[in-house]
A and B are shown apart, each in its own frame.
Chain A
C-alpha cells in the first residue's frame, strides 16, 4: 500500500531538508495524474543526511528492483556515497535525488520552490514552471501528457 502522506509526514516531522519534485509535486499543485513514487531532491549536508537516515530507518529502505538479500546497508555512508537512490520502503517507493536533470541540486532548486503547508508543516515543492522544465529536461515520452496538463494548470494560474 502506498502511504505517501505518512512518508511525507515522517520527513517533515524530522525536519529533513528536501524539495518535492515529480508526480507528487504535480498533485500538490492540483494535477489529476496518478503517480507511483515520491521524488525528492535533498540537501546533502552532513546533518541532513543523518536526519534522512534516522527518519527512514524504521521503514526498511531497500534498493528498488534489486534482488532480495543484497548487502545493502541503510546508513549515512551509503547515502553520502550515492547520488541518486531509488528506494522501496514499507510506506511506498521513494526516489532520493542529490541532483535532477534540468534542475540541479537542492540549493539550485530552492529559489525555484514554494512552500505548501501539509500536516501544519511547511513542505517545499518546486513551482509549476520548474516542474514543467524538469519534465521537459527528463525527455521521457511518458511525460508529454503530464506536461500538457501542467501547462494548462500554469495558464489557469496566470
Chain B
C-alpha cells in the first residue's frame, strides 16, 4: 500500500520531521553513479570506518599499558 493511501499515524509526523533534514545533495550524487559504484562507495566508507575504529582501539590499548 502506498504511503498516501495509508492512514496517517504519529510515526508519520516523526518521519516528516526527519524528512526536512535529509541531505538531498547526497542522494543526487549517488543517483549519478551506477548501482555497482554505489555499492563500492558504501563498502569503501564502511571499511574506512572499521580501520579508524581499529586504529583508535590500538592507540587506546597502547596508552593504557604502563
* Chain A residues proximal to chain B, CB less than 8 Å: 1-5, 8, 24, 27-28, 30-32, 34-36, 116-119, 123, 129, 132-133, 136, 144-145, 147-149, 151-154, 156
Q: Interface centre among B14, B24, B38, by most A CB within 10 Å?
A: B38
CB nearest to A32 among chain B residues: B26
A151 and B19 contact, Cβ closer than 8 Å, known pairs A118-B36, A136-B11: yes
Query: A-contacting residues of B (Cβ < 8 Å)?
Result: 1-3, 11, 14-19, 21-24, 26-27, 29-31, 35-36, 38-40, 42-43, 45-47, 49-50
| A5→B18 contact, CB < 8 A | no
Q: How far is the CB of B52 from chain A (nearest CB, A)?
A: 13
Most buried by A among B15, B17, B18: B15
- Shortest C-beta distance, B42 to chain A (Å), equals 5
Which 7 pairs, one residue from A and one from B, show the smallest C-beta to C-beta distance?
A148-B18, A32-B26, A148-B19, A30-B30, A30-B31, A28-B35, A116-B35
User: A32 touching B36 by the CB < 8 A rule?
Assistant: no
Chain B binding surface SS class: helix
Inter-chain contact total with CB atoms closer than 8 Å: 84
16 A-B pairs (CB sep. < 8 Å)? A1-B47, A2-B47, A4-B42, A5-B43, A27-B39, A30-B31, A32-B29, A34-B46, A35-B42, A118-B35, A129-B2, A129-B3, A148-B16, A148-B18, A149-B19, A151-B19
Q: Identify B24's interface contact among A1, A5, A152, CB under 8 A.
A: A152
Cβ–Cβ contact A153 & B39, under 8 A: no
Complex CA distance for A153 and B20, rounded to whole angstroms: 13
Assembled-state Cα–Cα distance A148/B23 (Å): 11
